Structure 1
Amino acid sequence: MQGLLDKIEQAIREFFIGLIESNLTTMFVDVNEKTATIAEQIGQTPQGWNGNIFSMIRSLSETVIIPIAGMVITFVLCYELITMITEKNNLHDGDSFSFFKYFLKMWVAVFLVTRTFDITMAIFDVAQHVVNAASALIRGSAYIDINTVLASMLAGLQDKGIAELAALSMETLLVGNAMKLLSVLITVILYGRMIEIFLTCSVAPIPFATLANREWGQMGNNYLRNLAALGFQGFFMMVCVAIYTVLVQSIILTENIHASIFQIAAYTLLLCFSLFKTGSLSKSIFNAH
């Protein structure tokens, strides 16, 4: 009779240990997939992320926004001409160079508006080069060896009681589901950044139309700083992923498995918060508002 009870107890113990192992495997697979997905999403340019959306935004910009930018150019150039005339005492103090400079500004303004998307994408190409260079360095150290980690965490489970194993299986299940929700939140943050990039690019001709004027050019200068901030936000996101991976890998997994599991969940929540803050951090560094 005692032998039968021992076999039942061992079967229950093996069931809970198998459930814990399955939950932990899923959890660490999610961590590896999360870091790989973030690196892949951030490392793409707007046209590479979704070509259909990019084509639609470009078409809207060229057919709807550029005519408005043309009116802005007209106003800015008229303002520039009036300013030049008043500064030169109704042209009594003027010279031919003033007109040359005015026509040069006119040509630059028209050129910038007609080449808006090329210039905008060039800014993102430069930023993405930095992001991809960082991604190549981070991906090499961002992978968690699941088998080694599981071996460390499961080593002491055989000595635990059935009640503790049952509680631990529930903990791993709950934390695993919580991390899936956090993964969804991270995806929302990544997609939100790309949508913000598309929205910013859709009205690019209007701020570009103001760059030729000293007073109105503040709008265009701030817009360029915003583009740079959005581009380099990806770099800060990659740094967040690198820090997250180092934190997860440095958790002591053999002493207290309960604390280790919740610590991993806390680090994942910290990753979400850090990714969310990268936007404001990047704008503050580039002085964009």
Structure 2
Amino acid sequence: MNTIIERITEAIKDILIGLIKSCLDNMFTSVNEQVGTIAGQVGQTPQGWNAGIFNLIQNISQTVIVPIAGLIITFVLCYELITMVTQKNNFHEFETYNIFLWIFKAYVAIYLVTNTFNITMAVFDVGQHVVNNAAGVISGNTAVDASEAVARIVDALEDMELGDLFLLSMETLLISITMRILSIIITVILYGRMIEIYLYTSIAPIPFATMTNKEWGNIGNNYLKGLFALAFQGFFMMVCVGIYAVLVNAMTISSDLHAAMFSVAAYTVILAFSLFKTGSLSKSIFNAH
């Protein structure tokens, strides 16, 4: 009878140890996967992330927004011409240079509107270059290799009682599920950033149409700041992932397994929160409102 109970106990222990090992493997390998996933997402330009959405946004911008931008340019240029004429005592003190300056402003304004997408994509190309370089440094120096520690933990699990193993298996399973949920949240944050970029670029011709005017130019200048903030938000995301990977990699998971697992979950929560805050941080740095 005792032999049967012992065999049943050993079988249950083997199942629980296998469950714990599987959860630990998934937990620590997900760190490396998240570094690669986030790097792949934030390193994409709008046209590279989804060509279909990009073409849709570009068509909407060119067919709906560009005509409105043309009306704004016309209004701004007429306003500038009237102001230029009237402030010089109705041509009595007027200089020919002002006409050439006005023509140059008109040319620049039209050029900016007709090449809006080239300019915006150039900004994101710069951001992509910075993110890809950061991803190479982070991925090469923060890869988490927990195989040896997990192997030592499995050896230690053999000496644990059935109740402790059951409690530990529930903890690892709960934390594994939590990290999967957090991974979904992080994915939502990444996709939300890309959707914000598409929305931002769809209206680009209107703020670009105001950039040559002294009074209205703050609209275009602030838009350009926001564009750089979105492009460099990906860099801040990569820095957050690098910090996360370093924290997880520096843990000693063989001494206190319970604390180590909850630390990984806590670090992942902090990662999700930090990724969420990168947008406001980037806008604050570039003074975009």
Q: TM-score, normalised by structure 1?
A: 0.97
Give me the whole-angstrom Cα distance separating, in 1, the residues matched to 2:191 and 2:271. 16
Root-mean-square deviation (CA), in Å?
Answer: 1.2
Give the alignment of 1:130-279 within 5 angstroms.
130-279=130-279
What's 1:18 paired with? 18
- Secondary structure of residue in 1 paired with 2:143: coil
Give the alignment of 1:115-134 within 5 angstroms.
115-134=115-134
Q: CA deviation at 1:52?
A: 0.5
The worse-fitting range, judged by mean Cα deviation, of 107-116 and 148-157 is: 148-157
What's 2:7 paired with? 7
Give me the whole-angstrom Cα distance separating, in 2, the residues matched to 1:169 and 1:208. 58
- Does the CA contact (< 8 Å) of 2:113 and 2:209 recur in 1? yes
- Secondary structure of residue in 2 paired with 1:156: helix
- Does the CA contact (< 8 Å) of 1:46 and 1:198 recur in 2? yes
Q: CA deviation at 1:31?
A: 2.4
Give me the whole-angstrom Cα distance separating, in 1, the residues matched to 2:35 and 2:188. 15
What's 2:63 paired with? 63
Q: CA deviation at 1:160?
A: 1.2
- Does the CA contact (< 8 Å) of 2:150 and 2:254 recur in 1? no
Structure 2 residue 90 is the aligned partner of structure 1 residue 82: no
Q: CA deviation at 1:13?
A: 1.6
- Secondary structure of residue in 2 paired with 1:44: coil
Deviation by residue 1:18-70 (Cα, 9 ceiling, x = unmatched):
11111112222322222210011111111000000000000000000000000
- Secondary structure of residue in 1 paired with 2:99: helix
Structure 2 residue 40 is the aligned partner of structure 1 residue 40: yes
Give me the whole-angstrom Cα distance separating, in 2, the residues matched to 1:13 and 1:120. 59
Deviation by residue 1:92-116 (Cα, 9 ceiling, x = unmatched):
1111100000000000000000000
The worse-fitting range, judged by mean Cα deviation, of 154-163 and 1-10 is: 1-10
Structure 2 residue 268 is the aligned partner of structure 1 residue 288: no
Amino acid at match of 2:95: D
Amino acid at match of 1:39: A
Amino acid at match of 1:250: A
- Secondary structure of residue in 1 paired with 2:158: helix
Amino acid at match of 2:234: G
- Does the CA contact (< 8 Å) of 1:30 and 1:180 recur in 2? no
- Does the CA contact (< 8 Å) of 1:152 and 1:254 recur in 2? yes
Q: CA deviation at 1:136?
A: 1.0
Give me the whole-angstrom Cα distance separating, in 2, the residues matched to 1:152 and 1:89. 89
- Secondary structure of residue in 2 paired with 1:159: coil
- Does the CA contact (< 8 Å) of 1:127 and 1:231 recur in 2? yes
Give me the whole-angstrom Cα distance separating, in 2, the residues matched to 1:25 and 1:133. 28
Amino acid at match of 2:74: T
Q: CA deviation at 1:284?
A: 0.3
Q: TM-score, normalised by structure 2?
A: 0.97
The sequence identity of aligned pairs, in percent, is 58
Give me the whole-angstrom Cα distance separating, in 2, the residues matched to 1:125 and 1:39. 15
- Does the CA contact (< 8 Å) of 1:182 and 1:272 recur in 2? yes
Structure 1 segments unaligned to the other structure (5+ residues): none
Amino acid at match of 2:210: T
Amino acid at match of 1:29: T
Give me the whole-angstrom Cα distance separating, in 2, the residues matched to 1:89 and 1:40. 60
Structure 2 segments unaligned to the other structure (5+ residues): none
Amino acid at match of 1:253: I
Amino acid at match of 1:136: G
Give me the whole-angstrom Cα distance separating, in 2, the residues matched to 1:92 and 1:159. 100
Amino acid at match of 2:149: V
Give me the whole-angstrom Cα distance separating, in 2, the residues matched to 1:212 and 1:241. 40
Q: CA deviation at 1:12?
A: 2.0
